[in-house]
Amino acid sequence: MNESLFRCKTVAHVAICIFLGAFGPISWCSSQQTATTDESSPATRPIHRKTTAAAWDSLRKQIVTASDAQIECVDPQSLKTVRRISVDLNKIYQLAFSDDGAYLLVAGGSPSENGCVELYDWPNSRLVARHTSTSRKGGNGESSTVLEASFQDVVTSVCWLPDQSGWLEASWQGIGIVRLLDGTVQTTFGGHSGPLLAVTCLDDQHAVSAGIDQTIRIWNRHDGKEVSSLDNHTGSVRWLQRKQNPRDNTAPLLVSASADSTVRLWEPGIGRLVKFSRLGSPPLVVCTSPVHSRLLLGLEDDSVVALDMQSLETKVLVESPTRDPSQNSVGGDRIEAMLIIPAAAQPAREEVIVWRQSGLLRLQH
């Protein structure tokens, strides 16, 4: 009886050793581990949550990042997570704070199903509204029939209006809208022939959209009529930003970044391309310095470059791991997001945080 029990224990012990030898040791993630305020066991956490967006919280002086269905508040010094917020979006594509930091827009949705923008009272992280439909209210408070269908695909980009009275939304469905702070849809525009990837405000009167159809279109944001288009790009236009014109405050400039591996500077009022810079690889992620006239671009070849917005000259901050431009992301270390931390928020000069598949990277800017 005892001998039988001993044999059973021996067999069980050997089986466990074989199992551990075949499958262990197990590593949860090669990226930097983060602290959390929840009580979930490490065994229940995912191996890797792709960072899809990042923004600077000027009120709490902290980083806010997004991944699938989750927002994280991150301490800029330790890069540890201090708070997690669950959201109802399966995918998050952009975070946008209002100028005073009092509100946060979270844009995304479920691919091929619906698009959504959530508005949060910040820094209380209180959900104020969740907008999934482009229908708007009439003057008597009753719903009108301007456009009653919901977005059938994700919201890819959002941008606050200059007076902070609302924001622009761009959808993979190819529809753009102007939504006021109370949720009312003021205007819709849909002249693109494919999904929208970027939207920005040119001034109080005009909105700008761009996307996969390689065009940049300028709209009257009050009536939705197209004013003009810029058609020089030969690849999807992935990013847009207004730029102050040093020669004429009433005629702002526009900067665009495209999958054709160029960054272009425009005078949209007259439809003129001012200059352009050719990159070594298409840009995946673009972020701007709140102080300096610079762009930082994470490229498909895993390199990071800084671009002076005056001269459009570039400087490589992180070299590509491969010299062959046809082999992007060879090491599987794709850049997911980037953020410039203002110098005022830390003792040193401006610092850049780069989220990669392998973990976090700090750069002095």
Q: How sure is the predictor about 37, in pLDDT bands with cuts at 50, 70 and 90?
A: very low
Does residue 38 surpass a pLDDT of 50?
no
Q: 292: pLDDT confidence band, cut at 50, 70 and 90? A: low
* pLDDT score, position 311: 85
Long-range contacts, 227-233 (Cβ 8 Å, 24+): 228/268, 228/271, 230/254, 230/256, 230/266, 230/268, 230/271, 230/273, 232/264, 232/273, 232/276, 233/258, 233/260, 233/262, 233/264
Return d(Cα 365, Cα 363) in angstroms, integer. Answer: 6
Tens digits of per-residue pLDDT, 104-118?
Answer: 999 999 998 889 999
- What confidence tier does 24 reach under pLDDT thresholds 50, 70, 90? very low
pLDDT-derived band at 152, boundaries 50, 70, 90: confident
List pLDDT tens digits, range 243-260: 988 888 788 999 999 999
Q: Give pTM, 2 decimals.
A: 0.80
pLDDT value for 350: 80
Q: pLDDT grade, residue 332 (50/70/90)?
A: low
Terminal CA-to-CA distance of the chain, rounded, Å?
73
Flag the least confident range among 132-136, 174-178, 245-249, 316-320: 132-136
145 CB contacts (<8 Å, ≥6 apart)? 135
Q: Which amino acid is at 321?
A: P
Give the pLDDT confidence score for residue 294 in this predicted structure: 85
Query: With 70 as the cut, is the pLDDT of residue 19 above it?
Result: no
| Mean pLDDT of the region 317-329 | 66
Average pLDDT across the chain, whole number: 81
pLDDT range class, residue 342, cuts 50, 70, 90: confident
Order of strands, edge to edge, in the sheet holding 166-171?
155-160, 166-171, 176-180, 185-189
Among 241, 278, 273, smallest CA distance to 260 is for 278
Would you place residue 134 in the very low, low, confident or very high pLDDT band (cuts 50, 70, 90)?
low
- Under DSSP, the state recorded for 119 is E
